[in-house]
Amino acid sequence: MSILKLDEVTKVYEGKVAHLAVNLLSFEVEKGEFLAVMGPSGSGKTTLLNIISTIDTPTSGDLLINDINPLNLPKNELSLFRRKHLGFVFQNFNLLPALTVEENMILPLTLDDQPVEEMKKKVKILAEQLNLTSILEKRPAEISGGQAQRTAIGRALIHEPSLILADEPTGNLDSKSAKDVLEILTEVNKKRQTTIIMVTHDPTAASYCDRVLFIKDGQYFNEIYKDDRRQTFFQRILNVLSLLGGNVNDLSTIRLS
């Protein structure tokens, strides 16, 4: 069953020079899948993520999340839709500095006005899983990047959304913290069957996923599925990236001449 379905989604930024950010992009994401979206800078990754986040609307094409087309929802219900179905993890963590780790995590629940007992229970379980129990009372300024990102993951998970959107979640982390975060995402994906879409530059990060989708200049470029060993998957990702980075057309012209 597909949880997300994009059908010929196109986004054009109007202006003095019209810019085609996403061009006729179609793909599906199955429930419980961990998808990475890769592509060079300016390839439209962020626009794509914003469209899926429903905070940006495509110029044409259709989008289905959980069989609901968010494009047809009025503004207010769209917000409620996001609140119910989506969870976000950002590159800069974007924790609210005034709130403690615990308070940051329960934020989505308070907005939904859930009973306090329920919140306490959920925080306790999640904090143990994310290894945050000892720092629940700390503020974002007092914790490390890895801890901050784990808190952000906790915030994205606590209301049990059907889809988690992660924008470069390891972009600001050292390799050890990045590994921790990726392992946690994988674990969450496996144990909770949470669908995750992760935009990333980092091939190591992408190698933790089930599938990697490559886009270039807003268009579908290629996709590869993981195999038994992460090491070989990583190698294949690198291969595609080298194709993406170097100009494919240039190479062929050289050959032809």
Which residues sit at the interface with other proteins, rule CB under 8 A?
A: 53, 55, 75-76, 79-84, 86, 88, 90, 94, 96-99, 103, 106-111, 113, 116, 119-120, 139-142
Contact 68, 80 (CB under 8 A): no
Q: In what order do the strands lie in the sheet with 60-65?
A: 19-30, 2-13, 60-65
Q: Are 146 and 173 in contact (CB under 8 A)?
A: yes
Distance from C-alpha of 126 to C-alpha of 109, rounded to nearest angstrom? 13
Minimal distance, residue 142 CB to other proteins, in Å: 8
Judged by beta carbon, residue 67 or residue 113, the one nearer other proteins is 113
The secondary element (H helix, E strand) that includes residue 63 is strand 60-65
CB closer to other proteins, 82 vs 150: 82
Q: Residue 52 or residue 188: which is nearer to other proteins going by CB?
A: 52
Report in angstroms how near the CB of residue 242 gets to other proteins at its nearest: 34
d(CA 236, CA 5): 26
The residues, any chain, with a CB within 8 Å of residue 226's CB and separated by 6 or more, are: 207, 209, 210, 211, 233
Residue 85 Cβ vs other proteins, minimum distance, rounded to whole Å: 9
Q: Which is nearer to other proteins, 97 or 246 (CB)?
A: 97
Nearer to other proteins, 18 or 98 (CB): 98
Smallest gap from Cβ 176 to other proteins, in A, equals 24
Cα–Cα distance measured from residue 133 to residue 35, given in angstroms and rounded to the nearest whole number: 29
Residue indicated by tokens 């329960």: 106
Q: How far is CA 150 from CA 17, 132, 155, in A?
A: 40, 8, 9
Q: How far apart are CA 185 and CA 5, in angstroms?
A: 22
CB of 211 to other proteins, least distance (A): 24
**11 vs 159, beta carbon nearer other proteins:** 159
Angstrom distance (rounded) from CA 127 to CA 73: 34
- Residue number with CB closer to other proteins (128 or 142): 142
Q: How far is the CB of 251 from other proteins (least distance, A)?
A: 40
Nearest distance, CB of residue 97 and other proteins, angstroms: 4
Are 102 and 136 in contact by the 8 Å Cβ rule? The answer is yes
- Written as six digits, the tokens of 244 are 């993406």
